[in-house]
Amino acid sequence: MSKKSSPTAEGRSDPGTGKPDLAGAPANAALSADQKVGLYRLMVRIRRFEERSLRAYQAKKIGGFLHLYIGQEAVAVGCCSLMGKDDHVITAYRDHGHAIAVGMELNPLMAELYGKITGCSKGKGGSMHFFDPSRNYWGGHGIVGGQVPLGVGLAYGLKYKGLKGACMTFMGDGAVNQGAVHEAYNLAALWDLPVIFVIENNGYSMGTSQARSSAGELARRAEGYGMAWGVCDGHDICEVRAFMAPFLEKARSECKPAVVEIRTYRYRGHSVADPDNTYRAKAEIEEYRKTKDPIQVFQNLLLGEKVLDEATVEKIDSEARAEADVAADFAEASPFPTAADLQKDVYWESDNPSQRTSGGRLFFN
């Protein structure tokens, strides 16, 4: 399998032999010790938040689906840590990690899971529909591949307005076979839109492995559209950052789209409702956890660099656990929306009655 690491449309970039100097890559060399600890802390906060949410789910505090990101943290944190002020993010339903990675607070996220009015979407979206446009975070979308044309639209909007930003449009490996994704690829390449399509390949589209669902190499499909593409491993945040930075820069400065595949792994089932005992071996999960856990890998690196010590690791972890507990307490104590809230946030006009220009009824019974 060819492994490409720099954004060229011709598909000739040097696959390299052996491990490149990730720490020396410009995106990583520029990081201060504090920034490295900040990235580490983000990954830990994502994991502890999700573990806490899983306990809340098992205690029946959370309804519907809960798609956990545990094991994939280096992807969202690595990518989102490269965002500038005009860069944007949109993703699918496994969206907790990205929300925390762009800087959303844990309280409104946990409250959203609990279906409370203090949630980031006022309890109207749930786990799959976290949004924070003030942080350039556009969801959180439930239909596989359905967010991908929206990501192209965000990129189109950036270019239309003359802003030097890019939109990272995340999807899972199961999304690549949806028609809307291919339509989005074509438009992005046809019109040179600043979008990076990020395939987070965790190996399984629900319970169907990549080998059983997708022909060929996932990112290589970009070649059919004349787009740059590349593949990297997603368990090492340094690799993710070093790999993504040039693609992002090319999108921002030259409006060049790309398709990238970041290989990662999820430890939990597709959702909490997936007993995860039919389509993969427990040993496979254990092997990944032992050798490639993204938090452990980064922790080892930072311990080696003396950026972290054992006491700080312990402190970060206990603070993250406490923060997740506080978020759960906040969610628990918050009120649910009421029936009167059902018909708010449906129309801009009905939420802004003094500025309404239309007549007639908007709601029916």
Partner 1 sequence: MPVLQYREAIRQALAEELTRDPNVVVLGEEVAQFHGAYKVTEGLLEKFGPKRIVDTPISEAGFVGMGIGASMLGVRPVIELMFWSFYSVAFDQILNNAANVRYMSGGQINCPIVIRGPANGGTNVGATHSHTTENVLAHHPGVKVVVPSTPYDAKGLLKSAIRDNDPVFFLENTMLYGDKGEVPADDYLVPLGKADVKREGTDLTIVSYGRAAIQSLAAANLLQQEHNISVEVVDLRSIRPLDIDTVLASVRKTHRLLVVEEQKPFCGVGAQIAYMVQSEAFDELDGPIARLCTIDAPAIYSPPVEAEQLPNPQRILRAVIEALD
DSSP for 262-306, please give it. EE---SS-SSTT----SSS-HHHHHHHHHHH-HHHHHHHHHHHTT
Six token digits for residue 109 = 């996220």
Token reading at 219? 């990112």
Decide whether 26 or 224 has the Cβ nearer to partner 1. Answer: 224
Nearest to 188 by CA among 131, 247, 263: 247
Instruction: Give the shortest CB-134-to-partner 1 separation in angstroms.
Output: 8
Q: Which is nearer to partner 1, 19 or 161 (CB)?
A: 161
**357 is an interface residue for partner 1 by CB under 8 A:** yes
- 122 lies in the site for partner 1, by CB under 8 A: yes
The answer to whether residue 23 forms part of the interface with partner 1 (CB under 8 A) is no
Is residue 348 near partner 1 by the rule CB under 8 A?
yes
Q: Is the dihedral of CA 65, 326, 322, 106 positive or negative?
A: positive
**Minimum distance, C-beta of residue 153 to partner 1, in the bound complex (Å):** 2
Rounded Cα–Cα distance for residues 64 and 261 (Å): 29
Positions in 92-121 near partner 1 (CB under 8 A): 119-121
Q: Which residue bears the tokens 């029936």? A: 339
Task: Find the shortest distance in angstroms from Cβ 10 to partner 1.
Answer: 23
Q: Residue type at 337?
A: P
Q: Which amino acid is at 124?
A: K
Cβ-based nearer residue to partner 1, 28 or 147 = 147
The reply on whether position 179 binds partner 1 by CB under 8 A is yes
Whether 128 and 90 have beta carbons less than 8 Å apart is answered as no
C-alpha dist (Å) from residue 79 to 9, 63, 90: 21, 29, 12
Residue 85 touches partner 1, criterion: CB under 8 A: no
| Among the residue ranges 74-82, 211-219, 325-333, 357-365, the one whose residues contact partner 1 (CB under 8 A) | 357-365
Work out whether 168 is an interface residue with partner 1 (CB under 8 A): no
Q: Out of 183, 192, 276, 317, name the contact with partner 1 by CB under 8 A.
A: 183
Please answer whether residues 316 and 43 qualify as being in contact, where contact means their C-beta atoms are separated by less than 8 angstroms.
no
What is the rounded distance in angstroms from the CA atom of residue 101 to the CA atom of residue 77?
Answer: 5
Site for partner 1 in 318-347 (CB under 8 A): 343-347
Q: Which is nearer to partner 1, 139 or 172 (CB)?
A: 139
Q: Which of 31, 54, 82, 150 binds partner 1 (CB under 8 A)?
A: 150
> Counting contacts by CB under 8 A, is residue 135 touching partner 1?
no
Kindly write down the DSSP assignment for every residue of 306-323, as one continuous string.
Answer: TSS-HHHHHHHHHHHHHH
Q: Which residues bind partner 1 (CB under 8 A)?
A: 88, 90, 119-125, 129, 131-134, 138-143, 146-158, 160-161, 179-180, 183-184, 186-187, 190, 343-349, 351-352, 357-364
